Amino acid sequence: ENLPNNVPKGPLTIPGLGSLDYCLYLSDMRRLRDKYGDIFLMKMGSKYMVYLCNYQLVKEAFSSPHVVDRPQFQMLWFLTDGVPAGVAFTDGEQWSTLRKFLMRQMRNLGMGKSYMEDAIMSEARKLANDFEKRVDKPAKIPKSVEVSVLNIVWQLVANKDYEYDDKKVIDLMDLMHKWFVDTGYLVLPDFFPILNYLPKFLRNYLLKEHITDELKKKCIDFTKETIEEHRANLDCDNPVDVIDHYLIEMDEQQKNPNGPQFKSDLDLTMTIFDLFAAGFDTTSSTLRWLILYVASHPEVQRKLHEEIDSVLQSDEEISLNHKDSLPYLEATIYETHRYCSFAMAGVFHQTSKDIQLGGHTIPKGTHVYACQALCHEDPNYWKEPEKFQPERFIDENGKFKSQKESFMPFGIGRRQCIGEALAHMELYLVFAMLLQKFHFAPPQGVTLDLEPKQQPLVHYCKDQDLIITLRNTKPEE
Ligand code: HEM
């Protein structure tokens, strides 16, 4: 095949099919890295994929202006009938216009302002009440974790929230989760276009296309309804949420037709979906990992309880003002990002021209995966990386210290997550509220399973029973 002769090494390939090996799970990444080195090349169908397995390579790649684009998968545009829209998977000016707009919104609505802090605290209280119904008997972490995180995104986007038992929302959430989990199947026709010619019943069976069809039906109604409601009630002098601001900005843009433009309601529909998809499964899964890790590390939990009790009176609520006084909490959240590596290979980028990287040529159109899970366990940057140790984020004066090198739960560079500060605010406030009220432990005699589910690209924790105890009724240790 017509490849430059210094492309990275990788498994043998068969024309039309791809590599004679696969890289789906973290164990595959480790295995292939050990065999071919920190940069290796795979092929699926007609597409090449390069995997970057150390921080220096990821940093070098993501500081290039030619590794910013996303692969254009048709399966992503099911809500807009094939038209690229939104922020997370578009490129060029369409992407940068929306990204700048959203970053501004996140700063104005979300960051450090009481609007979002209030919204998060209200969800945290509701969540704590729901946990209270499950105390003293083996119980799984409830679905309310997802609804509460979704409510926070929904407050930001549409100024609305839902009851924990709202069937419409639970259905939509489950469907979205399924769509996420089955992306691996849904994306196959983008690699093997011949699959598009299979009859529909086979596509449903093999590629799970019926999930996309169902999600489309539900999401289209949901977003259309919400946008129309906002349009009808818009008060231009007092915009409240992202949709209000978008509608106003779109009006402004029309006065200046030569400036950057949103693609009308399509961009808005897809942006709503992007914020949902990017904002809720990521944050709620991280909250689940936090609970699981402290339940299986009693010493960490004891220190967290001590720290919280020393800063907050028993009837006093956590707020963002306490942040500097809770370094161990901050460190535990960071260590959880490192240890679970939720987006274990980041979100794929694509080269927009041939580039040089780590002494190799990477051809134009290659998908680029930043293996954050491998960076997070690299012994050159992390002492005893296999241990869950929040102390690594604490300095010699007992203060929280961040680490930039080889730490990238939110990605790095121009595509870095725009919701990082919001996610952090949520995890900090919600987890502190739960810790103040509850103690988490495995059922007697049980060791919790901290291995992620076998699932390509993301690390979900396994659903398992915990014993949740109210702290004021049962002294700890
Ligand atoms: C613990 C929670 C979260 C994690 C671990 C996470 C992680 C990530 C990662 C790894 C990326 C890809 C970066 C890249 O392409 O190199 C990303 C992108 C993105 N995230 Fe997050 N995220 C989280 C929460 C959120 C939240 C709360 C929101 C918004 C409500 C959000 C919105 C986005 C968007 C819109 C993008 C696409 C940015 C772009 O393509 O320009 N994320 N996130």
State the distance from the centre of ligand 1 to the C-alpha of 280, rounded, in angstroms.
10
pLDDT at 11: 95
Span 453-457, mean pLDDT? 88
Asked if 390 contacts 335 with a C-beta cutoff of 8 angstroms, the reply is: yes
Over 446-461, what HEC string results?
CCCCCCCCCCCCECCC
Among the ranges given (34-48, 178-192, 417-431), the one the predictor scored with the smallest mean pLDDT: 178-192
Give the model confidence (pLDDT) of 391-432 as tens digits: 999 999 999 999 989 999 999 999 999 999 999 999 999 999
Q: Which residue has the higher pLDDT, 54 or 200?
A: 54
pLDDT at 301: 98
Q: Which residue has the higher pLDDT, 422 or 181?
A: 422
> From the CB of 411, is ligand 1 less than 6 Å away?
yes
206-238 burial, b if ≥16 CB within 10 A, otherwise e?
ebbbebbeebeeebeebbeebbeebeeebeeee
Structure tokens of 293? Answer: 């890790």
State the distance from the centre of ligand 1 to the C-alpha of 417, rounded, in angstroms.
4
112 burial type by CB count under 10 A (0-12 exposed, 13-18 middle, 19+ buried): exposed
Other C-beta atoms lying within 10 Å of the C-beta of residue 441: 17
Helix (H), strand (E) at residue 49: strand 47-52
Tokens 């069937």 sit on residue? 167
Among the ranges given (126-135, 183-192, 424-433, 468-477), the one the predictor scored with the smallest mean pLDDT: 468-477
State the distance from the centre of ligand 1 to the C-alpha of 95, rounded, in angstroms.
14
d(CA 339, CA 393): 13
Sign of torsion over alpha carbons 309, 313, 317, 318: negative
Give the model confidence (pLDDT) of 364-393 as tens digits: 999 999 999 999 999 999 999 999 999 999
Closest C-alpha among 393, 271, 273 to residue 329: 393
Rounded to the nearest integer, the mean pLDDT of the chain is: 91
pLDDT at 116: 86
pLDDT at 15: 87
Asked if 374 contacts 54 with a C-beta cutoff of 8 angstroms, the reply is: yes
Give the model confidence (pLDDT) of 263-303 as tens digits: 777 889 889 989 988 888 899 999 999 999 999 999 999 99
State the distance from the centre of ligand 1 to the C-alpha of 273, rounded, in angstroms.
13
State the distance from the centre of ligand 1 to the C-alpha of 458, rounded, in angstroms.
13
> From the CB of 422, is ligand 1 less than 6 Å away?
yes
State the distance from the centre of ligand 1 to the C-alpha of 122, rounded, in angstroms.
24
Asked if 393 contacts 40 with a C-beta cutoff of 8 angstroms, the reply is: no
Instruction: Determine the distance from the C-alpha atom of residue 28 to the mean position of all C-alpha atoms in its chain, rounded to a whole number.
Output: 21
- pLDDT category at 113 given cuts 50, 70, 90 is low
Q: Is the pLDDT of residue 162 over 90?
A: no
Tokens 């549409």 sit on residue? 158
Q: Is the pLDDT of residue 3 over 50?
A: yes
Helix (H), strand (E) at residue 228: helix 209-233
Question: Which ipTM value was assigned to this complex?
Answer: 0.99
Q: Is the pLDDT of residue 139 over 50?
A: yes
Other C-beta atoms lying within 10 Å of the C-beta of residue 113: 12
Query: In testing the pocket of ligand 1, which one of 116, 157, 417, 427 has its CB within 8 Å of the most ligand atoms?
Result: 417
Q: Is the pLDDT of residue 473 over 70?
A: no
> From the CB of 71, is ligand 1 less than 6 Å away?
no
> From the CB of 291, is ligand 1 less than 6 Å away?
no
Span 344-349, mean pLDDT? 95
Q: Which residue has the higher pLDDT, 93 or 259?
A: 93
Q: Which residue has the higher pLDDT, 353 or 220?
A: 353
Span 42-59, mean pLDDT? 96
Angle, CA 452 vertex, CA 448 and CA 457 arms, to 5°: 170
State the distance from the centre of ligand 1 to the C-alpha of 377, rounded, in angstroms.
21
Span 58-68, mean pLDDT? 97
Asked if 408 contacts 420 with a C-beta cutoff of 8 angstroms, the reply is: no
> From the CB of 69, is ligand 1 less than 6 Å away?
no
> From the CB of 279, is ligand 1 less than 6 Å away?
yes
Beta-bridge mates of residue 367: 49, 350
Helix (H), strand (E) at residue 369: strand 367-370
Q: Which residue has the higher pLDDT, 224 or 49?
A: 49
- pLDDT category at 256 given cuts 50, 70, 90 is confident
Query: In testing the pocket of ligand 1, which one of 68, 275, 408, 410 has its CB within 8 Å of the most ligand atoms?
Result: 410
d(CA 167, CA 174): 10
Q: Which atom of ligand 1 is nearest to the CA of 348?
A: 15
> From the CB of 394, is ligand 1 less than 6 Å away?
no
pLDDT at 405: 96
d(CA 420, CA 143): 23
Among the ranges given (22-26, 42-46, 209-213), the one the predictor scored with the smallest mean pLDDT: 209-213
Q: Is the pLDDT of residue 240 over 60?
A: yes
pLDDT at 314: 82
Which residues have C-beta within 8 Å of that of residue 115, sequence separation ≥ 6?
109
Tokens 């990444």 sit on residue? 29
466 burial type by CB count under 10 A (0-12 exposed, 13-18 middle, 19+ buried): buried
- pLDDT category at 218 given cuts 50, 70, 90 is confident
pLDDT at 219: 83
- pLDDT category at 315 given cuts 50, 70, 90 is confident
- pLDDT category at 110 given cuts 50, 70, 90 is low
Q: Which atom of ligand 1 is nearest to the CA of 415?
A: 41
> From the CB of 157, is ligand 1 less than 6 Å away?
no
Which residues have C-beta within 8 Å of that of residue 318, sequence separation ≥ 6?
308, 312, 428, 429, 432, 433, 436
Query: In testing the pocket of ligand 1, which one of 87, 149, 151, 282 has its CB within 8 Å of the most ligand atoms?
Result: 282
Instruction: Name the DSSP letter for residue 316.
Output: P
State the distance from the centre of ligand 1 to the C-alpha of 243, rounded, in angstroms.
19
Q: Is the pLDDT of residue 207 over 90?
A: no
pLDDT at 475: 47
27 φ, ψ (degrees, to nearest 5): -60, -35
- pLDDT category at 1 given cuts 50, 70, 90 is low
Closest C-alpha among 65, 70, 58, 41 to residue 362: 41
Distance of CA 468 to CAs 101, 291, 462, Å? 42, 10, 17
Give the model confidence (pLDDT) of 13-40 as tens digits: 998 889 999 998 999 999 999 999 999 9
Span 161-179, mean pLDDT? 81
Q: Which atom of ligand 1 is nearest to the CA of 416?
A: 13
Q: Is the pLDDT of residue 252 over 60?
A: yes
Which strands, in side-by-side order, build the sheet including 349-350? 13-14, 18-19, 39-44, 47-52, 367-370, 349-350
pLDDT at 424: 94
